Amino acid sequence: MIFPVIIAGGNGSRLWPLSRQLNPKQFLPLADTELSMLQATILRLRGLDAALPRLICNEQHRFLAAEQLRQLDMEQASILLEPVGRNTAPAIALAALQACSEAQDPILLVLAADHLIQDVPAFHASIQAARPLAADGKLVTFGIVPNGPETGYGYIEKGEAVGTGGFAVNRFVEKPDLATARDYLASGNFFWNSGMFMFRASRYLQELERFQPKILAACRAALEGGAQDMHFTRVDHNAFAACPEDSIDYAVMEKTADAVMVPLDAGWSDIGSWSALWDVSPKDAEGNVFKGDVLSQATRNSYVHADSRLVTTVGVEDLVIVETKDAILVAHKDRVQDVKKLVEQIKGDGRHEHINHREVYRPWGMYDSIDNGHRYQVKRITVRPGAKLSVQMHHHRAEHWIVVSGTAQVTNGERTYLVSENESTYIPIGQIHALENPGVIPLELIEVQSGSYLGEDDIVRFEDKYGRA
């Protein structure tokens, strides 16, 4: 049986303003109207002899990941939490060590959570070709059959045939210039480096110990000092923070003598930019991709995403326009790689639009900050059936709750009572309080905050069913 390991780290800043630090692209439905990139990656494994996926994600994304697994009825899947990012070599080491403790030297299939693969049967065929090679002790990487002289990817040069469908790796090469990429394409011997792998857990750990023993030692210490917390495996923060940072390519794959490549021709894309998303999306007769409420006249070869309102275009060409509730991006398709620079500018200016959307997801539901001003803020809050916000207190703000639909169970100091539709209640500054949805439908309410400071860090938690500090 294959043990899938899905790496769901990263911020996807080139896909701002949809992708944000606390809600990055792997959790968004970019190439699909229903499924997030992560969910599509998981469902792509159906039909393989595979165990439940083992997800590796940033601690900040844990509840988002758990909710998306719950939507797929996969609550029992393992979620490994990284307290800090240390690149792919340590992340995979954590998964390999954990897998070896649960099974006898399993074969790991390492996938990224934010890749698009359009031809699932071809994807499965490449996995089946790689499986006997991995079982035989090889460290397999999947090389994407290139369809153009791409300068944004690293390349793999194939060598002699190994087994059925595999090739020895002559070398890994960095992202080339355009002329070199054209030479690679013409030769037929070079493939894009996909960042997907298959190997026995023990072989990866052996090679990591040989080439980067400090990484392996730090990961062992981090797991030994960790703990299980609901769906999550937490590792020791200090031990993992001390781990050297390195990718699996640099740490192992470029050094091992047992690297093997299996070609993959399955409509792959890493959706690394808005132009890449335009490339793989269905287009109208004028070459446009429209998402949401969009009206256009004389518009060609453009990508327009309307998140919350009508977006109109007249007489434009080769543009990317992305509208969200708190930001709008307008960029030429040839310059979308520079969106990352724009995000850095937002950070440098002390703004917050790179961190989260106006809609913020929590383990109990979500809230939408619909208005704010001097000493006040208004939120629309949705609480899932059976969910409960933490028992908490604020030093600087009072809150007024008005129930729009459903029923709220409110703890307000020493009192606990129900608040129904069109009813309201008031929480004074400094009052210990909690909010719970005891019903079977979502609870919708309007929260009006007032006070001298309205930041989310003005929360003192006394009790929390989700284990938050």
Q: Tell me, what's the pLDDT at 14?
A: 94
Q: Tell me, what's the pLDDT at 361?
A: 86
Cite the beta strand spans of 258-337 per DSSP E.
Answer: 259-264, 268-269, 289-291, 294-297, 303-306, 311-314, 319-323, 328-332
CA distance 215 to 300: 50
Query: Which tokens is 341 given?
Result: 């620079």
User: Which pairs from 155-160 meet CB under 8 Å and 24+ separation?
Assistant: 155/181, 155/184, 155/190, 155/191, 155/192, 155/193, 156/190, 156/191, 156/192, 156/193, 156/261, 157/189, 157/190, 158/189, 158/190, 158/191, 158/261, 158/263
Give pTM, 2 decimals. Answer: 0.89
Q: Tell me, what's the pLDDT at 229?
A: 80
| Backbone angles phi and psi of 53, in degrees to 5 | -65, 150
Q: Tell me, what's the pLDDT at 12?
A: 85
From first to last of its 469 residues, the chain has per-residue pLDDT tens of 899 999 998 888 999 999 999 999 999 999 877 899 999 999 999 999 999 999 999 988 998 999 899 999 998 899 999 999 999 999 999 999 999 998 889 999 999 999 999 999 999 999 999 999 999 999 999 999 999 998 889 999 999 999 889 999 999 999 999 999 999 999 999 999 999 999 999 999 999 999 999 999 999 999 999 998 877 999 999 999 999 999 999 999 999 999 999 999 999 999 999 999 999 999 999 999 999 999 999 999 999 999 999 999 999 999 999 999 999 999 999 999 999 999 999 999 999 999 988 888 888 999 999 998 999 999 999 999 999 999 999 999 999 999 999 999 999 999 999 999 999 999 999 999 999 999 999 999 999 999 999 988 899 999 998 887 7
* Distance (Å) of CA 85 to CA 59, 113, 248: 10, 16, 14
Q: Tell me, what's the pLDDT at 10?
A: 83
CA distance 199 to 196: 11
Q: Tell me, what's the pLDDT at 458?
A: 93
Residue 63's identity, in one-letter code, is: F
Ordered by where they begin, the domains of the chain are 2-269 (3.90.550.10), 274-347 (no CATH), 359-463 (2.60.120.10)
CA distance 95 to 80: 8
β-sheet bridge partners, residue 80: 56, 233
| Backbone angles phi and psi of 195, in degrees to 5 | 75, 20
Strand 139-144 relative to strand 259-264, pairing: parallel
